[in-house]
Chains A and B, each alone.
Chain A
Amino acid sequence: MPQFAALLKKDSQPVRYLVVDDSVFARKNIIKMVELFGGEVAGEAGDGLTAIAEFNRTKPDIVLMDITMPQMEGIEAVERIVRQHPEARIVMVSSVGYQENILAALQKGAKHFVQKPVKPEVLYEILRYVLSDDPAAAGAPVALAGEHRS
C-alpha cells in the first residue's frame, strides 16, 4: 500500500473517524486506510441506528458511511445526523454507485461519495477535499501536506 502524508487537524491532532458498515471486513479495510492517513477511529457501527448513537457519543470529525445496511440504511442515517448536526461531514462509501443513490445521499447532506472497492489514493483525496472546508481542520494544503508518496 502506498504511503501518505498525515491528514491532521489544525491543532495537529489526528482526524477522528466514525466508520459505519455492516461488513466487518469493510470496516477493517477502511480503518486500515484511515490509520494509514494518520487518523484515529472514534467509533464503529454496523447499521444506521447505531451510527446515529455513535455520532452523538463520539462527535467524530468525519463519518464514512455505507449505504446498504440492516435496520436503517445509510442515506436515512445521513439525513437524521445532518438534521441534528448540520456541520457533520459524511462521506458515503458503497459498492452501489449509481446516480440516483449518489444524488439522494448528497441531497440529504453527505459531502462526497466513494465507490467500493475503495482505492486508498481516491479516499485520501476525497478526505482531503472534505476536510478543506473545515475551519477546525488543517484545511490549507500546506497543513494537510497532501502530497501522497506512492
Chain B
Amino acid sequence: MRMDLIQPFINAADAVFAESLQGPTKIGDLSMEEGAYRRKGIAALIAIKGDIEGRIILDLAPEVAYKVAGILTGGEATNDDQTARETVCELANMVIGNSVTLLNDQGYTFKVFPPEVHSSDEGLAGSQDTEAMVLAIETTCGNIFLNIAMHHLTRRRRERDAAPALR
C-alpha cells in the first residue's frame, strides 16, 4: 500500500472535519488491517476505479452522526436513522471530493462511485481480501473512523498477470 495514495484522503478528511464541524481535530493511531471491515456505527463505502483502485469507508456511531448533523444543519436535524445515513453520506462526499481533487491535480484519473451506506452487522461487501489502513479522527463530535485501501491499477494488473505463472 502506498502512502502517497492514502495521504490525500487523510489530509482531506482532517481538513473537512475541522472546517465543517467548526472545531479542532486530531488524527489518532494508524494501523493496518486485513479482511472484511466490521463497521463501528453507520458506514459509507465509496469505490474508486481508474488509474488507482480501491475503496474508502467512513464510519461513525449514530450519536456522533446526530451531533454532526446538528452542526451541519444549524440544529434542525432530527435524531433518526435517516439523519445518520444522510450525515455519513454528506461527510463521505466532502472527504472524497476534496481528496479526489488532490489526486486529480497529481495527474491521476479515475471514477468515483456514489456512497453505499451500510448499517448491517455483516462484514462490508467489497472490503474482503484487502489490506487497509485504519484510523480514527478525533473531532468535537466524537471519533470518525476511516478505512482506506488504495492501489495503483498497474501494480494490480502485474500481480494478476503474474499469478498463473506461479501455479
Which A residues form the contact surface with B (CB < 8 A)?
A: 23-26, 28-29, 32, 68, 94-100, 115-117, 119
Bound form: Cα–Cα A26–B87 in Å: 10
B143 at the interface (CB under 8 A from A): no
B20 CB contacts on chain A under 8 angstroms: 117
**Cβ-defined contact, A96 with B101, below 8 A:** yes
Q: Contact string, B76-99, partner A, CB cutoff 8 A, digits 1/0?
A: 110000000011011001111110
Could you show 29 A-B contacts with beta carbons less than 8 Å apart?
Answer: A23-B86, A23-B89, A23-B90, A25-B72, A25-B73, A25-B86, A25-B87, A25-B90, A28-B76, A29-B72, A32-B73, A68-B93, A94-B97, A95-B16, A95-B93, A95-B96, A95-B98, A96-B97, A96-B100, A97-B97, A97-B101, A98-B104, A98-B105, A99-B104, A115-B98, A115-B101, A116-B94, A116-B97, A117-B20
B74 CB contacts on chain A under 8 angstroms: 28-29, 32
Considering only residues 1-40 of chain B, those with a C-beta below 8 Å from chain A are 16, 19-20
**Cβ-defined contact, A99 with B105, below 8 A:** yes
**Cβ-defined contact, B94 with A117, below 8 A:** yes
CB contact between B97 and one of A24, A28, A32, A95 (< 8 Å): that residue: A95
B87 CB contacts on chain A under 8 angstroms: 25
CB contact between B98 and one of A68, A97, A99 (< 8 Å): that residue: A97
- Min CB distance A86 to B, Å, is 29
A115 CB contacts on chain B under 8 angstroms: 97-98, 101
Bound form: Cα–Cα A32–B70 in Å: 13
**Cβ-defined contact, A119 with B89, below 8 A:** no
A97 CB contacts on chain B under 8 angstroms: 97-98, 101
**Cβ-defined contact, B19 with A119, below 8 A:** yes
